[in-house]
Structure 1
Amino acid sequence: MRARLRIFVWLLGLCVALALAGCADPGLERVDVTWETDPPPRWGLYPGYRQEIPAPKGASYRVDVFFKGKAFTGGTVSDAGYALNFAPSGKDIEAERDGRDRMTLYATLRNSKGESRKLTALRISRKDDKLVFEFPK
């Protein structure tokens, strides 16, 4: 009888854990980085991914942030040589500088109730002749 009770309690705990995992608020799905050259190479970054991309002086990169299968905001990151710049193309994205060679992009998710959450979309840093794009978990 005790073995059945243990199995029942274990299965009940597993069901509760799975149900709670499905109740979490969805986050950002991915961020696409497209180098604005001809032809334009594109890198898709998912949570936890990190990508080093060549960055010649004056290069610019289109950033698109995805939620629920479609891009909802974005902007352009450029390397002016002396510092990194960001020009938003949507209202739900902003950049915060951490010196000349580092910045963090934040995307704001809004739900149907009018509530909003500000999430880290991308960390960008310049190392020599490369830009490092990181999408944190």
Structure 2
Amino acid sequence: MRKRMRAVLCAVLALAAFVLAGCGDAGLDRVDVTWRTDPPPRWGLYPGYRQEIPCPVGAEYHVDVFRKGAPFTGGTLTAAYALSFVPDPGARGIAAVRDGRDRMTVTVTLRDDKGGSQALTALRIERVAGKIYFEFPK
């Protein structure tokens, strides 16, 4: 009796997990940050992650935003006197807003099938004392 009850409970929990996995937001999956050095280290940030990376003056980082498991859009961040962001050629719906010279927010605009759009924060970037912090908010 207990084994049967346990099997039924496991089946119900597996079905519930499967159903809930399909109900997620069709937003952004992850953001990859690649430091343009030799060799180029890459960090994958998922919702809620914050990464600290060394930041010498003039460092460049490439940002790739993923949606539905594939690269969606991206751009290059340069950390000179102030932070600057340039979208990749042909990039869709990505923009950056500076908040002072050492803070920036990168947003991505997603379009749905009905013609509507939704702007999501892909990264919050902050430079402090020779380090740069990339945060992918939940």
Number of the residue aligned with 2:47: 47
Distance in 2, Cα, partners of 1:61 & 1:48: 20
Which residue of structure 2 aligns with residue 69 of structure 1? 69
Residue ranges of structure 2 left out of the alignment (5+ in a row): 1-11
Residue 59 of structure 2 is aligned to residue 59 of structure 1 = yes
Question: What is the TM-score when the length of structure 2 is the normalising length?
Answer: 0.81
Matched, 1:93 2:94: yes
| 1:23 positional shift | 3.7
Q: Alpha-carbon deviation of 1:92?
A: 1.1
1:112 Cα shift? 2.4
How many equivalent pairs are there?
121
Query: Whole-Å Cα distance in 2 between the matches of residues 39 and 31 of structure 1?
Result: 20
Q: How does 1:1-137 map to 2 (within 5 A)?
A: 22-80=22-80, 82-89=81-88, 90-137=91-138
Residues in 2 aligned to 1:134 and 1:99: alpha-carbon distance in whole angstroms:
17
Q: Segments of 4+ in structure 1 off by > 4 A?
A: 18-22
In structure 2, C-alpha distance between the alignment counterparts of 1:47 and 1:120, rounded to whole Å: 10
Q: CA distance change for structure 1 residues 22 and 130 in 2, over 3 Å: closer, same or farther? A: same
**Quick one: structure 1 residues 136 and 19, their matched pair in 2 at CA, closer, same or farther if it must change by over 3 Å?**
same
Give me the whole-angstrom Cα distance separating, in 2, the residues matched to 1:39 and 1:25: 35
Secondary structure, counterpart of 1:53 in structure 2: strand
Identity %: 67
